Amino acid sequence: MKRFLLAASLLALTAGMAEARDQIRIVGSSTVYPFTTAVAEQFGKTSGMKTPVVESTGTGGGMKLFCAGIGADHPDFTNASRQIKKSEFEDCAKNGVTDIVEIKVGFDGLTVANSKAGPDLTFTKTQLFLALAKEVPDKDGKLIANPYKTWKDVDASLPDEKIEVLGPPPTSGTRDSFVELVMDKGAEGIDSLKALKKSDAKAFEKVWKSIREDGAYIDAGENDNLIVQKLEANPQAVGIFGYSFLEENQNKIKGAAIDGKSPSYETIASGEYKVSRPLFVYAKKQHVGTIPGMVEFVKEYVSDKALGEDGYLASKGLVPLPGDDFKKTKAAAEAMETLKGDQLM
Amino acid sequence: MTDTAISAAPRRVSDNAALVAKRYRSERRFKLYGIAAIAVTAVFLVLLFADILVKGLPAFFEHRMMLPVSVSQEAIDPQNSKDPKIIRTGDFDGPIRESFRAMFPDVTSRGDRKKLLGLLSSGAADDFRAMVVNNPSLIGTDAKVPVLLSDDADQYLKGRQTGVAKIAGQGTITASADGEKFKLVTDKTPVLTAGDIVRLNGGAFRVVSADNGAYLAEQVTAPKSLDPANAGAWDIVRFTVTEHNRRIDDQEALWLEQLKEKGVAENGIAWRFFSSGDSREPELAGIRGALTGSILTLLVTLFLCLPIGVAAAIYLEEFAPKNRLTQLIEVNINNLAAVPSIVFGLLGLAMFLNFFGLPRSAPLVGGLVLALLVLPTIIIASRAALRAVPPSIKEAALGVGASHQQAIFHHVLPLAMPGIMTGTIIGMAHALGETAPLLMIGMVAFIVDIPGGFTDAATALPIQIYLWSDLPEIAFQSKTAGAIIVLLVFLFVMNAAAILLRKRFERRW
């Protein structure tokens, strides 16, 4: 037994000493995961180097790992479904991660969709806010618990059906984006709340950040495929998820128009469809030279064949950057320009 | 007094009979409840398995074409080096695309050709490359090469995008240009409805409107001529799902139908599902990386758990003094068995990764964490097995002069071994299905390369299932179910081994 334990601890030690790493390691957002993995696979196939390992840890978790330090123990890239926060950037700097390259890779549209068997839906952000917020203003502008039971209660133009929305849970980055892109803007569309924003910004924030908990909004878990299946089974229900799932399941579900624009590849790319968020990949420039393939991987990511309009990422559902932005991103990424803290929020 | 005695006696008899009947009824009722409970469980189980099988079986099949390809010296090995490394970098895509395009000589426009090539998998050349690398003598010859179709094309051919009906044309049909559209005229009773595809003279038209026998159609592919087509020379293709509701459009569907009619596209067993690692292309993704990762992880777990668990069990059961301390240990082992598995993951992260500095995503660390997780189970099972050996055996050994240790190692332990093995295998099966603890140590990852050792990056079967279930491509849903089938088979094999071991070595007294 003693000998066994000794062997085990020896093994542990030798593994710990194996510092050098010849494989790129990537962590971060599960939204960017499907795209970064596609690039990693292509990179592995064409470069002759080892295929990078891509972990799906969520944006926040990825940032924490990424900012923990430099050296072979720490990841080289992190995926993010939002820009790096100033606090995270400072945290990075404190741990010696000072040279970070930001690559904006494209957009992810958030869609509100229902079954093909259900009615065609068009919403305004304000209608969505009224249907989903925990507290809404009544006629006099006083906040009351959300009284709306059917879509028709919200607005006469909407169908006379129960409000039943399947969406991501509070831990999800998709939920954060939805709340910021739809609920915030929707709340601003109501006069009494606009006044509240001026007088008491904190209280206003609480109003648009709180989603109702009386059963009209259902946490459907992180798995978007599950939401699609539930929508298919229940034509009354409405779901919230990423655009790539709408594209893959267009035989079963259809996207609702928001503020007059239906979600499509074109409307998201042109910015007409407003409910979309940028996706990022961050690279640790200090690892260039120690970890083989860093620069080549970035080049593969921003190549025309990957990120271009007809690239393989577009066919995976990533909405690419418009032409000029893409050129700028590409040039900056290839030159490995580092991020400065004062550009961040 | 006697009156009451006489009248009471028969009443008691009838009372008894009623009571007995009631007891029988109650027993029958209970049996019915039991049968109902089993039936409900069985129905759920059957539904679950049927669902997984129906969804998962397509994952074990793939559509590929056998295409004649000329293996040209220039494209593959211009210097005639015969070096596999150089051959590997040759252009294998080119010849395959050329051969595929040659099957559709009418497709000439750039956009259409691109669309046509989109039906091929992005890894279509992988098989060809492997073939030539393994057998360089093929260079300079013509070969029949298996070419993989894309996941959408595969799904279409498996009938998972739309149903297709083909109706032979009756009578003569004539197409004539009418502005941008075409007019179709038949001399027999019309059977066309809007959305139908009419194929004639090598081209295809989609019927846009069908009012009173006047058919307006738009061109899908250009015909060779607009001559009238006789019965048998034209046909109708009717899809149950309209074009904008599926991922394969009419033109692509017609190309695939042509492939099917020519007998080029065949449905074969997808061996690559078992031989390749993960991929972002559903048609290329395989389970081997995850399976290897699971096996490596379980090996580490087994080699740690079995000796430590059994040693702990023997000591606690046979040698440890019965005092407060051992009682405390005992209670805590039982508590440990009920700790949520994610906690072990956090422990693994803090201990093995941050303190010992072991590599992330390694089966070694996964195995260590899972060992912690199943150790209490194995200790408890082993102690139960040791306790089940009749004390008379140990006492007899002690009586003939064996030492305490000899009595246990020579007599008690061998008899307890089947029970210990069963406990261990069930513990391993439990470890096989765990994902939560592996999340924290970085095994939830996209890993293409198949792990070759205990410190290589690896993932495990249940994690692969979780990762695939979250991807948008439809074809990954059947891959997910396919991976579940593999996991279930793995579990059945382990449980069957446990039962066999018990049956083979069990002793009854």
The per-residue pLDDT for range A125-158, each reduced to its tens digit, is 889 998 998 888 887 778 888 888 888 888 888 8
Q: Do A251 and B442 touch (CB under 8 A)?
A: no
Model confidence pLDDT, tens digit, residues B314-344: 999 989 998 999 999 999 999 988 889 889 9
Model confidence pLDDT, tens digit, residues B199-228: 888 888 888 887 766 788 888 888 888 888
Query: In the prediction, which pLDDT does B189 show?
Result: 66
Within a domain: residue B84?
A: no
B320 touches A at CB < 8 Å: no
In this structure, how many other beta carbons lie within 10 angstroms of the beta carbon of residue A234?
16
Average of pLDDT values for A278-288?
92
The C-alpha atoms of residue B167 and residue A182 are separated, in whole angstroms, by: 50
Chain A: nearest CA to B112, how far in angstroms? Answer: 15
Chain B: nearest CA to A56, how far in angstroms? Answer: 6
Average of pLDDT values for A200-211?
86
Checking if the pLDDT of A13 tops 50, the result is: no
Residue with tokens 């790129």: A24
Average pLDDT of the residues of chain A: 85
> What's phi and psi for B143, nearest 5 deg?
-135, 155
Quick one: pLDDT band at residue B43, thresholds 50, 70, 90? very high
Average of pLDDT values for A241-255?
85
Checking if the pLDDT of B468 tops 90, the result is: yes
Query: In the prediction, which pLDDT does B299 show?
Result: 94
Q: Do A16 and B245 touch (CB under 8 A)?
A: no
User: Per-residue b/e over B317-336, b at no fewer than 16 CB within 10 Å?
Assistant: bbeeeeeeeeeeebeebeeb
Residue with tokens 């301390």: B325
Model confidence pLDDT, tens digit, residues B245-281: 788 888 899 999 988 888 888 888 999 999 999 999 9
Chain A: nearest CA to B232, how far in angstroms? Answer: 33
The C-alpha atoms of residue A85 and residue A163 are separated, in whole angstroms, by: 35
B360 touches A at CB < 8 Å: yes
Q: Which residue of A has its CA nearest to B245?
A: A251
Model confidence pLDDT, tens digit, residues A30-50: 889 999 999 999 898 888 888
Residues of B in contact with A56 (CB under 8 A): 444-446, 467, 470
A70 contacts A43 by C-beta, under 8 angstroms = no
CATH number (domain holding residue B300): 1.10.3720.10
In this structure, how many other beta carbons lie within 10 angstroms of the beta carbon of residue B61?
16
Contact partners, residue A1, CB within 8 Å, separation at least 6: B307, B308, B311
B176's enclosing H/E stretch is strand B173-178
The residue segments making up the domain with residue B311 are: 288-505
Checking if the pLDDT of A14 tops 70, the result is: no
Q: Indicate the residue of A41, A53, A56 with minimum beta-carbon distance to B457.
A: A53
Sequence-ordered alpha helix ranges (H) in A200-336: 201-209, 224-233, 243-248, 265-270, 294-301, 304-307, 312-315, 323-334
Quick one: pLDDT band at residue A15, thresholds 50, 70, 90? very low
Chain A: nearest CA to B339, how far in angstroms? Answer: 23
Q: Indicate the residue of B448, B470, B472 with minimum beta-carbon distance to A41.
A: B448
Residues of A in contact with B280 (CB under 8 A): 34, 37-38, 41, 316
One-letter amino acid of A39? V
Quick one: pLDDT band at residue A280, thresholds 50, 70, 90? very high
Which residues from A are below 8 Å from B when comparing CB atoms? 1, 4, 8, 11-13, 15-16, 18, 23, 25, 27, 30, 33-34, 37-38, 40-41, 44, 50-51, 53-57, 73, 116, 222-225, 242, 244-245, 247-251, 312, 316-317
Nearest Cα to Cα of residue A37 among B441, B475, B248, B282:
B282
Q: Between A282 and B76, name the one with better pLDDT.
A: A282
Query: In the prediction, which pLDDT does B274 show?
Result: 93
Residues of A in contact with B359 (CB under 8 A): 15, 18
CA atoms within 13 A on the CB side of B128: 34
Residues of A in contact with B161 (CB under 8 A): 251
B425 touches A at CB < 8 Å: no
Looking at the 3D structure of chain B, how many domains does it have?
A: 2
Helix axes B288-314, B475-505, angle to 10 degrees: 30
Determine the 3-state secondary structure of B1 from DSSP: coil
Query: In the prediction, which pLDDT does B10 show?
Result: 53
Checking if the pLDDT of B96 tops 80, the result is: yes
Query: In the prediction, which pLDDT does A16 show?
Result: 44
Q: Which residue of B has its CA nearest to A5?
A: B304
Query: In the prediction, which pLDDT does B12 show?
Result: 62
B146 touches A at CB < 8 Å: no
How many interchain CB pairs under 8 A, A with B?
Answer: 101
Within a domain: residue B27?
A: yes
B90 contacts B74 by C-beta, under 8 angstroms = no
Q: Do A251 and B471 touch (CB under 8 A)?
A: no
Quick one: pLDDT band at residue A1, thresholds 50, 70, 90? very low
Which architecture characterizes domain A109-276 according to CATH? 3-Layer(aba) Sandwich (3.40)
Query: In whole angstroms, what separates CA A322 from the centre of its chain?
Result: 19
Residues of B in contact with A16 (CB under 8 A): 356-358
Q: Which of A43, A249, A251 is most worth mutating to test chain B (most B CB atoms within 10 A of its CB)?
A: A251
Model confidence pLDDT, tens digit, residues B60-91: 999 989 888 888 887 777 777 777 777 877 78
A307 contacts A301 by C-beta, under 8 angstroms = yes
One-letter amino acid of A241? F
Query: In whole angstroms, what separates CA A26 from the centre of its chain?
Result: 16
B496: tokens are: 């069957």
Nearest Cα to Cα of residue B477 among B160, B183, B215:
B160
B438 touches A at CB < 8 Å: no
The C-alpha atoms of residue A52 and residue A59 are separated, in whole angstroms, by: 18
One-letter amino acid of A160? D
Within a domain: residue B30?
A: yes
Q: Which residue of A has its CA nearest to B152?
A: A248
A92-97: long-range pairs with CB below 8 Å, 24+: A92/A66, A92/A67, A93/A341, A95/A67, A95/A68, A95/A69, A95/A70, A96/A69, A96/A70, A96/A286, A97/A66, A97/A67, A97/A69, A97/A70, A97/A284, A97/A286
Quick one: pLDDT band at residue B139, thresholds 50, 70, 90? confident
Checking if the pLDDT of A275 tops 50, the result is: yes
> What's phi and psi for A18, nearest 5 deg?
-70, 80
Q: Between B15 and B195, name the one with better pLDDT.
A: B195
Domain ranges of chain A: 22-108+277-343, 109-276
B501's enclosing H/E stretch is helix B475-505
Checking if the pLDDT of A124 tops 60, the result is: yes
Q: Do A250 and B244 touch (CB under 8 A)?
A: yes
Q: Which residue of B has its CA nearest to A20?
A: B359
| Residue A162 DSSP class | B
Q: Indicate the residue of B246, B361, B472 with minimum beta-carbon distance to A251.
A: B246
Q: Indicate the residue of B359, B469, B472 with minimum beta-carbon distance to A317.
A: B472
Determine the 3-state secondary structure of B265 from DSSP: strand
B445 touches A at CB < 8 Å: yes
Query: In the prediction, which pLDDT does B368 show?
Result: 94
Model confidence pLDDT, tens digit, residues A148-189: 888 888 888 888 888 999 988 876 777 888 888 898 888 888
B161 touches A at CB < 8 Å: yes
A53: tokens are: 């390992």
Strand A100-115 with A253-255, pairing: antiparallel
Query: In the prediction, which pLDDT does A18 show?
Result: 44
B345 contacts B369 by C-beta, under 8 angstroms = yes
A311: tokens are: 């690239």
Burial of B198 by CB count in 10 Å (0-12 exposed, 13-18 middle, 19+ buried)?
Answer: buried
Residues of B in contact with A44 (CB under 8 A): 448-449
The C-alpha atoms of residue B465 and residue B285 are separated, in whole angstroms, by: 12
Average of pLDDT values for A272-287?
90
Query: In the prediction, which pLDDT does B307 show?
Result: 94
DSSP bridge pairs for A106: A279
A301: tokens are: 């990511």
Q: Do A40 and B448 touch (CB under 8 A)?
A: yes
The C-alpha atoms of residue A332 and residue B181 are separated, in whole angstroms, by: 49
Chain B: nearest CA to A20, how far in angstroms? Answer: 11
Chain B: nearest CA to A209, how far in angstroms? Answer: 26
Average pLDDT of the residues of chain B: 87
Q: Which of A42, A56, A57, A229 is most worth mutating to test chain B (most B CB atoms within 10 A of its CB)?
A: A56
Q: Do B449 and A225 touch (CB under 8 A)?
A: no
Within a domain: residue B145?
A: no
B218's enclosing H/E stretch is strand B214-221
Q: Do B470 and A1 touch (CB under 8 A)?
A: no
Residue with tokens 């495929």: A225
Sequence-ordered alpha helix ranges (H) in B319-435: 324-336, 341-348, 363-387, 391-399, 404-406, 413-432
Contact partners, residue A239, CB within 8 Å, separation at least 6: A112, A113, A114, A165, A166, A167, A220, A227, A228, A230, A231, A253
B435: tokens are: 């994902």
Distances from the Cα of B278 to the Cαs of A48, A201, A318, in angstroms?
17, 48, 20
Query: In the prediction, which pLDDT does B94 show?
Result: 85
Within a domain: residue B392?
A: yes
User: Per-residue b/e over B158-194, b at no fewer than 16 CB within 10 Å?
Assistant: eeebbebeeeebbeebebeeeeeebebebeeebebee
CATH topology of domain A22-108+277-343: D-Maltodextrin-Binding Protein; domain 2 (3.40.190)
Q: Which of B470, B474, B476, B480 is most worth mutating to test chain A (most A CB atoms within 10 A of its CB)?
A: B470
Checking if the pLDDT of A7 tops 70, the result is: no
Average of pLDDT values for A209-230?
85
Q: Do B449 and A16 touch (CB under 8 A)?
A: no
Nearest Cα to Cα of residue A302 among A279, A327, A269:
A327
DSSP bridge pairs for A282: A78, A102
Average of pLDDT values for A70-88?
90
Nearest Cα to Cα of residue A45 among B169, B449, B193, B430:
B449
Model confidence pLDDT, tens digit, residues B360-417: 899 999 999 999 999 999 999 999 999 999 999 999 999 999 999 999 999 999 999 9
A185 contacts A106 by C-beta, under 8 angstroms = no
Q: Which of A21, A53, A224, A229 is most worth mutating to test chain B (most B CB atoms within 10 A of its CB)?
A: A53
Domain boundary among B25, B43, B58: B58
Helix axes A59-66, A86-94, angle to 10 degrees: 30
Query: In the prediction, which pLDDT does B376 show?
Result: 93
Q: Indicate the residue of B247, B280, B449 with minimum beta-carbon distance to A37.
A: B280
B211: tokens are: 């009012």
Dihedral, B489, B495, B500, B501 alpha carbons, nearest 10: 130
Q: Do B445 and A54 touch (CB under 8 A)?
A: yes
> What's phi and psi for A310, nearest 5 deg?
-105, 20
